[in-house]
């Protein structure tokens, strides 16, 4: 079973990397949106394999469906054709980013040895009472949120409301900005 898990993980990961790179390198925007849709779907599968079903569903519902549609509408409304030259011009600040990324990779490679040291810790707790798969993810999450983190939940609800109102207001604006 571990092997299967591993194979699935590797396949999905490779797919994700390839498609994200193609998102960046595509010339048209609509293509990149389509690719992003697929990426979010794959992320959902990955989350599902980690027994985080609620997160997976949220990811798919929000990102891959709602946001993609919004992006597509945006692209349809706005005329991006005025950007003609899409060639990549190297500027001085790009170098900083490349250098930083290389440094981060190096640091991660070095950090691997430190993380591996403490991996033995989790193995002994697999037979304990509190296993991840005993109860469903939604049950576990809801019990945690509603008991201890109700405040933040409420806040996000209010935030959603505000954004709703704000968006509708912004759309209906007339006159100066």
Phi, psi of 26 (to 5 degrees): -80, 150
Residue 36 near residue 51, CB atoms below 8 Å: no
Residues 101-120, interacting with another protein (CB under 8 A) = 101-108, 110-112, 114-116, 119
Within residues 123-152, the interface with another protein by CB under 8 A covers 130-132, 137, 140-141, 144-145, 149, 152
Distances (CA, A) of 82 to 85, 113, 124: 9, 50, 61
State whether residue 37 is helix, strand or coil. helix
- Binds another protein (CB under 8 A): choice among 74, 150, 154, 165: 74
Distances (CA, A) of 57 to 51, 62, 98, 122, 127: 11, 8, 35, 27, 28
Q: Which residue has the tokens 């994700």?
A: 16
Residues 81-100 that bind another protein (CB under 8 A): 82-83, 86, 88, 93-94, 96-97, 99-100
Residue whose CB is less far from another protein, 77 or 127: 77
Q: How far is the CB of 124 from another protein (least distance, A)?
A: 13
Q: Which of 11, 21, 150, 165 binds another protein (CB under 8 A)?
A: 21
Residues whose CB falls within 8 Å of the CB of residue 72, separated by 6 or more in sequence, listed in order? 30, 33
Report if residue 65 touches another protein, rule: CB under 8 A.
Answer: no
Site string for another protein, 25-64 (x = CB under 8 A): ----x--xx--x--xx--x--xx--xxx-xx--xx--xx-
């Amino acid at each position: 079973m571990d092997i299967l898990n591993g194979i699935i993980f590797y396949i999905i990961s490779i797919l994700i990397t390839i498609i994200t790179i193609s998102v960046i390198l595509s010339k048209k925007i609509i293509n990149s949106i389509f690719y992003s849709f697929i990426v979010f779907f794959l992320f959902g599968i990955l989350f599902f394999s980690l027994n985080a079903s609620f997160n997976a569903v949220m990811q798919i519902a929000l990102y891959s469906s709602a946001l993609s549609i919004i992006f597509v509408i945006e692209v349809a409304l706005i005329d991006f054709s005025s950007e003609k030259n899409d060639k990549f011009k190297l500027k001085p600040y790009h170098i900083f980013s490349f250098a930083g990324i290389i440094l981060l990779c190096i640091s991660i490679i070095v950090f691997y040895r430190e993380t591996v040291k403490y991996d033995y810790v989790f193995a002994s707790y697999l037979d304990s009472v509190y296993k991840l798969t005993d109860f469903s993810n939604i049950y576990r999450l809801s019990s945690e949120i509603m008991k201890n983190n109700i405040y933040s939940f409420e806040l996000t609800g209010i935030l959603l409301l505000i954004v709703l109102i704000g968006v509708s207001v912004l759309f209906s604006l007339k006159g100066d900005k």
